[in-house]
Amino acid sequence: MEREYDVVVIGTGVAGSDIAWHCGDAGMEVAITDQQEYGGTCALRGCVPKKVLVGAAEVVARVRDQQGNGIRGEVSIDWPRLVAFEHTFTDPVPRRKEERFRKVGVQTYYGPARFTGPDRVAVGGDTLTARYIVIATGAHPRPLGVPGADLMTSSDDFFSLEALPERIVFIGGGYISFEFAHVAARAGAAVTILQRSGRVLSGFDPDIVDRLVLASEEIGIDVQVNMPLLSIEKNADGLLVRAGKEGKEKIFEADMAVHGAGRVSAIEHLDLAAGKIETDRRGIRVNEYLQSVSNPAVYVAGDANPTSPQLTPVAVMDAHIVVDNIRNGNARVADYSVVPSAVFTTPPLASVGLTEEAAKERGIPCIVHAGDLSGRFTNRSIGEKHSRYKLLIERGSRRILGAHLIGHHAEEVINVFALAIRHNLTADDLALDAIPWAYPSNTYDIIHMVHPLARK
């Protein structure tokens, strides 16, 4: 059956859902489809369930860090009950999504979509034509192309493990591996992270990352660099993971190998050529309006957009840009210059703005404020000994250009610095004389970052 719409959205994650809902609420005829359960990565296989697992790991970490400081007795994670609790967040999502769509008149479809022309897609036995088609299909694990790759467990499937294996090897040294590794280690697993290059978490400041690596190793995580994956095979005891550079290969025994080596746009099933949609090695080619450069009827948002960081708040921002450009003509452009990001380990790591290396490459004269906040009572009182910071302050103007943090509530404090960078605030704008930050708090510690000699 052929049906006509104003907008057809492919994908029901945060980007696709927001676009469909806002366009439908504005009175447009909208359809949406997904080949998986409605909800997308963040709600079902990403941020939300991850934070539930991380929350449990944080409790264990806090209790262990406080041993001998007035706290006694151990706590442990009951993995099956934790996963059951996690599912109370994820299981209701598909139904709630569908109900919300129906309230604004969005027509829901199920199954993979593929282009059959520049303005039409096929979903099952239906052909949907539209003035605009939005690709918001998210991302999936990057194909690794090594023997035995099919033996890996995806990061998606990690959330549904009925039991936690005793030995886990995480492939890749990015935020997915580190976050899961901290959870698994604090739940009692023996954990190894294998990174193909010499640096883990390469998008973050290396000095702050080094501190996270130290904190990870202290809880038993074995972080191995220069270990590209070569193969995975089964044996009687589990898996043999072979990795390393020529002449320096190692075998790691494991009960499970988890794919944490990056994700790429999930667009290969869409038959983009039939839609006259140009691609390059990164994915769909889009302009500054998030519109296909070759087919003006098509927009791309969220993780399917190869120009944007794969982060939920960015996907939401993409969605709002696409909605405005569909409804009002191309007027809003994407700007990813200030995007805070966090690694939800314990302690968490967070970053926004320029790194020291990037500032040097651009020839920007900077003052670097870096230091240790573990002696501050906000951290010492909870046993947090890995709190560090690095700020980049432009010489002369004293504008904040970058902030890199590790420590308790770093994922919250980083948002203050993101706001400062966005609005060209200076170090002096964040000082105690300018703002009497709530005290005692980790945010108050900002005054010790912008003016390291400050005392309280």
Q: Is the pLDDT of residue 343 over 80?
A: yes
Each residue of 326-341: pLDDT tens digit? 999 999 999 999 999 9
What is the percent of the chain where pLDDT is above 90? 94
Q: What is the pLDDT of residue 204?
A: 97
Mean pLDDT of 12-22: 97
Burial 123-145 (b: 16+ CB within 10 A, else e): beebebbbebbbbbbbbbbeebe
Q: Decide if 29 contacts 4 (C-beta within 8 A).
A: yes
Helices 14-25 and 312-328: angle between axes, nearest 10 degrees? 30
Mean pLDDT of 355-379: 94
Q: How far apart are CA 244 and CA 224, in angstroms?
A: 9
| Predicted structure pTM score | 0.94
Q: Is the pLDDT of residue 456 over 50?
A: no
Each residue of 93-119: pLDDT tens digit? 999 999 999 999 999 999 999 999 999
Q: What is the pLDDT of residue 452?
A: 72
CB count in 10 Å sphere of residue 153: 18
If pLDDT is split at 50, 70 and 90, which confidence band does 434 have? Answer: confident
Strand 238-243 relative to strand 250-254, pairing: antiparallel
The residue type at 371? G
Q: How far apart are CA 152 and CA 423, in angstroms?
A: 44
If pLDDT is split at 50, 70 and 90, which confidence band does 374 have? Answer: very high
Structure tokens at 11: 């994908």
Mean pLDDT of 360-383: 94
Q: Is 233 helix (H, G, I), strand (E, B) or coil?
A: strand
Q: How far apart are CA 121 and CA 276, in angstroms?
A: 12
CB count in 10 Å sphere of residue 237: 10
Q: What is the pLDDT of residue 453?
A: 59
Sign (positive/negative) of CA torsion 442, 446, 451, 456?
negative
If pLDDT is split at 50, 70 and 90, which confidence band does 23 have? Answer: very high
Each residue of 120-177: pLDDT tens digit? 999 999 999 999 999 999 999 999 999 999 999 998 999 999 999 999 999 999 999 9
Could you tell me the CA-to-CA distances from 200 to 170, 177, 306, 345, 372 in Å, in that order? 12, 10, 22, 14, 21
| Listed range (88-97, 151-160, 446-455) with the worst mean pLDDT | 446-455
If pLDDT is split at 50, 70 and 90, which confidence band does 247 have? Answer: confident
Mean pLDDT of 284-292: 97
Q: Decide if 388 contacts 353 (C-beta within 8 A).
A: no
Each residue of 29-80: pLDDT tens digit? 999 999 999 999 999 999 999 999 999 999 999 999 999 999 999 999 999 9
Q: What is the pLDDT of residue 191?
A: 98
Q: Decide if 322 contacts 32 (C-beta within 8 A).
A: no
If pLDDT is split at 50, 70 and 90, which confidence band does 451 have? Answer: confident
